[in-house]
Amino acid sequence: MPTDVLMRLAEALATGAVRVIDLSQTLQPSTPVIQLPPQFGASNPFRIEEISHYDDRGPGWYWNNIALGEHTGTHFDAPIHWVTGKDYRDGYTDTIPAGRFVAPACVIDCSKEAAADEKFLLEPAHIEAWEGKHGRIPKGAWVLMRTDWSKRTTPESFLNMKDDGPHVPGPSAAAIRFLIEQRDVNGWGVEAVGTDAGMAFGFEPAFPAHHLMHGAKKLGLASLTNLDQLPPTGAVLITPPLKIKNGSGSPLRVLALVAG
Amino acid sequence: MPPPRRAKPKHPLRRFPTPTLPPLARSRVALGLTAFAARGVFALQVCRDCGTVHYPPQEACRHCLSARLDWRPQDGAGEVLSDTVLRHSNELYFRARVPLRLGSVRLDAGPTAIAFVHGACAAPPARVRLHAALDRGGAAVLAALPDDEVTTMADDRVLRELTNDPAGRKVLITDGRAAVAAPLARALAAAGADLIYVGMAEPWPPAAVAPYAQIPEALVRPLDVTDSESVTDLAAEIGGKVDILINTAEHHRPRGILARGTESARAEMEVNYFGLLRLAHSFAPGMRARAADGAVAWVNVLSIFALTNFPPHGTFSASKAAAHSLAQGLRAELRGAGLRVVNVYPGPIEEEWSDMLPPPKIAPAALAAAVVAALRDGVEDVYPGDVAQDWLARWRDNPKALEREVAER
């Protein structure tokens, strides 16, 4: 490959021919985290405490201590996150090959369906219909489910907790199986708080976007935003998690490179 | 009788007075009176050898010179022999409060004491009950009330200052999800509280907010004591109005220390200890500045497990012990302004995380009633319910024995 391909990319970035789109939520104390029954351990929300602010604690500088769970805000799910992926030595945040952190993305627009049905499930038929218009999902690509869920700005409406569980759209087990077995994707990303549908605790298997994806050493991205600014195909995602030793995931800044 | 309210709205441009305190100095032996008054008990020294009852507190018996003087609760029955009205004082605190009715009260048990006399007491000679109450500086003073069961200190202009009556005051309950919170809001409303802010970390599910929709005085506000930003935001909004802060925020997970991971224990500390610290940093300075303008009390709902570790709830006990220590320090820092820190030490509460503990457990409504009564009576240490009273008695008698007893349940 000619070395000037990167120089041409740099030039395209400088001229705006390639734009950088931020797919990350702002991390703040009100950032919603996944809710589990209280007898389970709970992931910490994002917390920030000032160390000094140009004051008696440090006259010339401002900085904070932060604390949060690995799966808080816009975050990366490593294969080791789920019990089905527990034996992958290259499935931790610090051992996943870095090449997997830069990959193209296919964006399936389910925003109309999710607006009509908060419990909308993406099925293989929807994926095949999308491929009919935009072409076959390439091996090693991210598949992102656009629901416009990120436009729900209050934690209540974002988590959408109801008496029978969260009403949040997501993939069916069959759709996940299709993406793994038929398309060999890099991973699966969503706008909601987790990669699975709200009612996925009752699926077979439960939580397929975790159980099956991570069992197949695939990656996950949750709490993405701005998917409405991506083309159906052609965007390249940059998704490096923090290099946490034996990390199961990480909050991260997700960037998309988009032509034009 | 409707509860007393503030006479009229305060003038918004009036300079509010700088907090002052009554004289604080007490001898170490006289602090015995304060120690009992802190729990709402009037106790005097009784000679173990000759039975003489003493006031003022003594180092030795004035009758037989025995050094064996024991503090024993008294019924306070007595008679006002004479009274007078003080119209001038050189003490700044009293200058702002004259005229003061003072009298000489002879107790049926023997000694005679100078005391504040409630305005409702008849002219001497008159039967009265003598109470020991804490003044704004946290030291015990004596007050004579009519010998009936209905007159309270709050009914008297001067003695009202010895109470922290919620009537007419604005109260913040920091966690509306705590089992005690809704009964407490109802009890405060019934006691005449002017406004009851109810903190709620997350306004869902709707069932958590619903009880407060039924209480006209209640206003639900976002407050998460684990989040400094949330605490400072609410303090910025209402910190200048809160007269009584009641910290009900509690994280409680049962089981012993070897069965609990550090994350679970840390979550308890984040709420039970650091939560209190964050509230103190954000709300206490404003309340201290307003101590002469209505701010009166800071209530911490702790646990009797703060006194000695209850191993089946080991990490929870430890977090409450930390909060207990912090609350003692906070009390010292707020006393200078005349703010009362009330620490409440219930036994197990009838709530979901104590479901595996056998009865007796204190009902949330009973705990709420105890908190309101503590504010009205001006006490600062409250041990509500049978379990708390039992543990307190055993702890006072022999802390080491209690440690061993609760470990062998």
> How do residues A209-229 score in pLDDT, each as one tens digit?
999 999 999 999 999 999 999
Predicted confidence at residue B2, as pLDDT, reads: 45
Q: Which residue of A has its CA nearest to B274?
A: A49
Average pLDDT rounded to a whole number, residues A84-101: 97
Kindly report the average pLDDT of chain A as a whole number.
95
Residue B69 Cα, gap to closest chain A Cα (Å): 51
Q: Which of A30, A193, A248 to mutate to test the interface with B (most CBs of B within 10 A)?
A: A30
> How do residues A153-163 score in pLDDT, each as one tens digit?
898 899 998 88
- Helical segments of A47-146, H only: 111-116, 124-134
> How do residues A134-152 score in pLDDT, each as one tens digit?
999 999 999 999 999 999 9
**Which secondary-structure segment (H or E) carries B172?**
strand B170-173
Q: What is the DSSP string of B315-346?
A: HHHHHHHHHHHHHHHHHHHHHTTTPEEEEE--
Residue A240 Cα, gap to closest chain B Cα (Å): 26
B229 contacts A45? CB cut-off 8 A: no
Q: What percentage of chain A carries pLDDT values higher than 90?
A: 90
Distance from C-alpha of A220 to C-alpha of A96, rounded to nearest angstrom: 13
> How do residues B11-28 score in pLDDT, each as one tens digit?
777 777 778 899 888 999
Listed in sequence order, the residues at least 6 apart from B306 whose beta carbon sits closer than 8 Å to its beta carbon are B317, B320, B321, B323, B324, B345
Inter-residue contact A31 to A56 (CB < 8 Å): no
Considering only CB atoms, which chain A residues are within 8 Å of B226?
A: 45, 47
Q: Which residue of B has its CA nearest to A28?
A: B229
- pLDDT reading at A71 higher than 60: yes
Confidence of residue A1 (pLDDT cuts 50, 70, 90): low
Predicted confidence at residue B353, as pLDDT, reads: 86
Predicted confidence at residue B352, as pLDDT, reads: 86
* Amino acid letter for position B315: T
A47 contacts B204? CB cut-off 8 A: no
With a threshold of 0.85, tell me whether the complex ipTM lies above it.
no
| Three-state secondary-structure class, residue B395 | helix
B228 contacts A45? CB cut-off 8 A: no
Dihedral of CA B379/B384/B389/B392: which sign?
negative
Neighbours of B397 (CB within 10 A): 9
Confidence of residue B1 (pLDDT cuts 50, 70, 90): very low
A163 touches chain B (CB under 8 A): yes
Inter-residue contact A225 to A146 (CB < 8 Å): no
B230 touches chain A (CB under 8 A): yes
Q: Which residue of B has its CA nearest to A157?
A: B204
Q: What percentage of chain A carries pLDDT values higher than 70?
A: 99
DSSP B147: S
Domains of chain B: 31-162 (no CATH), 170-407 (3.40.50.720)
Q: Does the predicted model carry a pTM greater than 0.80?
A: yes
Predicted confidence at residue B409, as pLDDT, reads: 59
- pLDDT reading at B342 higher than 90: yes
B259 touches chain A (CB under 8 A): no
Q: Cα separations (Å) of B213 from A179, A216, B64, B186, B269?
A: 48, 50, 64, 11, 31
The topology under which CATH files domain A4-259 is Glucose Oxidase; domain 1 (3.50.30)
Kindly report the average pLDDT of chain B as a whole number.
92
Task: Tell me which of A177-186, B151-160, B182-191 is least confident.
Answer: B151-160
Q: What is the DSSP string of A71-85?
A: TSSSEEE-GGGSGGG
- Helical segments of B273-313, H only: 274-289
Quick one: B291 exposed, middle or buried, by C-beta within 10 A (0-12, 13-18, 19+)? buried
Average pLDDT rounded to a whole number, residues B267-288: 96
B230 contacts A45? CB cut-off 8 A: no
Average pLDDT rounded to a whole number, residues A53-60: 94
Inter-residue contact B294 to B169 (CB < 8 Å): yes
**Which secondary-structure segment (H or E) carries B206?**
helix B206-213
- pLDDT reading at B3 higher than 50: no
Q: Which of B299, B303, B31, B19 is nearest to B161 (CA)?
A: B19
Residue B336 Cα, gap to closest chain A Cα (Å): 25
B206 touches chain A (CB under 8 A): no
> How do residues B216-261 score in pLDDT, each as one tens digit?
999 999 999 999 999 999 999 999 999 999 999 999 988 889 988 8
Going across the sheet that includes B69-73, the strands are B53-54, B43-47, B69-73
Residue B263 Cα, gap to closest chain A Cα (Å): 8
> How do residues B128-160 score in pLDDT, each as one tens digit?
999 999 999 999 999 999 999 888 888 898 898
A163 contacts B230? CB cut-off 8 A: no
A53 carries an active-site annotation? no
Predicted confidence at residue B279, as pLDDT, reads: 98
Select the residue of B226, B263, B264 nearest A47 (Cβ to Cβ).
Answer: B226
Residue B100: beta bridge partners? B86
For B55-151, list the strands marked E by DSSP: 69-73, 77-86, 100-107, 112-117, 126-134, 140-146
B233 touches chain A (CB under 8 A): no
| Three-state secondary-structure class, residue A245 | coil
A41 contacts B263? CB cut-off 8 A: yes
Considering only CB atoms, which chain A residues are within 8 Å of B263?
A: 41, 44
Inter-residue contact B180 to B174 (CB < 8 Å): no
Distance from C-alpha of B267 to C-alpha of B84, rounded to nearest angstrom: 57
Distance from C-alpha of A124 to C-alpha of A145, rounded to nearest angstrom: 13
Inter-residue contact A172 to A208 (CB < 8 Å): yes
Distance from C-alpha of B199 to C-alpha of B225, rounded to nearest angstrom: 9
Q: Which of A44, A53, A72, A157 to mutate to test the interface with B (most CBs of B within 10 A)?
A: A44
Average pLDDT rounded to a whole number, residues B34-57: 96
> How do residues A219-259 score in pLDDT, each as one tens digit?
999 999 999 999 999 999 999 999 999 999 999 999 999 99
A48 contacts B229? CB cut-off 8 A: yes
Q: Which of A28, A46, A49 to mutate to test the interface with B (most CBs of B within 10 A)?
A: A49
| Three-state secondary-structure class, residue A237 | strand
A42 touches chain B (CB under 8 A): yes
Select the residue of B203, B226, B230 nearest A156 (Cβ to Cβ).
Answer: B203
Question: Does B407 or B395 have the greater pLDDT score?
Answer: B395
Confidence of residue A2 (pLDDT cuts 50, 70, 90): low
Considering only CB atoms, which chain A residues are within 8 Å of B229?
A: 28-29, 48
Select the residue of B203, B204, B261 nearest A41 (Cβ to Cβ).
Answer: B261
| Three-state secondary-structure class, residue A59 | strand
**Which secondary-structure segment (H or E) carries A108?**
strand A102-109
Select the residue of A28, A47, A161 nearest B204 (Cβ to Cβ).
Answer: A161
A161 contacts B205? CB cut-off 8 A: yes
B264 contacts A41? CB cut-off 8 A: yes
Considering only CB atoms, which chain A residues are within 8 Å of B264?
A: 41
Q: Which residue of A has its CA nearest to B262?
A: A41
Inter-residue contact B118 to B143 (CB < 8 Å): yes
Predicted confidence at residue A22, as pLDDT, reads: 98
Residue A36 Cα, gap to closest chain B Cα (Å): 14
Average pLDDT rounded to a whole number, residues B265-273: 95
Quick one: B10 exposed, middle or buried, by C-beta within 10 A (0-12, 13-18, 19+)? exposed
Strands A18-22 and A255-259: antiparallel
A156 contacts B202? CB cut-off 8 A: yes
Considering only CB atoms, which chain B residues are within 8 Å of A47?
A: 226-228
Which listed residue (A71, A75, A81, A126) is catalytic?
A81
Average pLDDT rounded to a whole number, residues B111-140: 95
**Tokens in use for A41?**
């351990």
Select the residue of A47, A161, A163 nearest B227 (Cβ to Cβ).
Answer: A47
Distance from C-alpha of B225 to C-alpha of B235, rounded to nearest angstrom: 11
Q: Which residue of A has its CA nearest to B254?
A: A39
Predicted confidence at residue A158, as pLDDT, reads: 95
B224 touches chain A (CB under 8 A): yes
B224 contacts A48? CB cut-off 8 A: no
Predicted confidence at residue B8, as pLDDT, reads: 57
Distance from C-alpha of B164 to C-alpha of B208, rounded to nearest angstrom: 28
The half-sphere exposure of B15 on its side-chain side, counting CA atoms within 13 A, is 3
B20 touches chain A (CB under 8 A): no
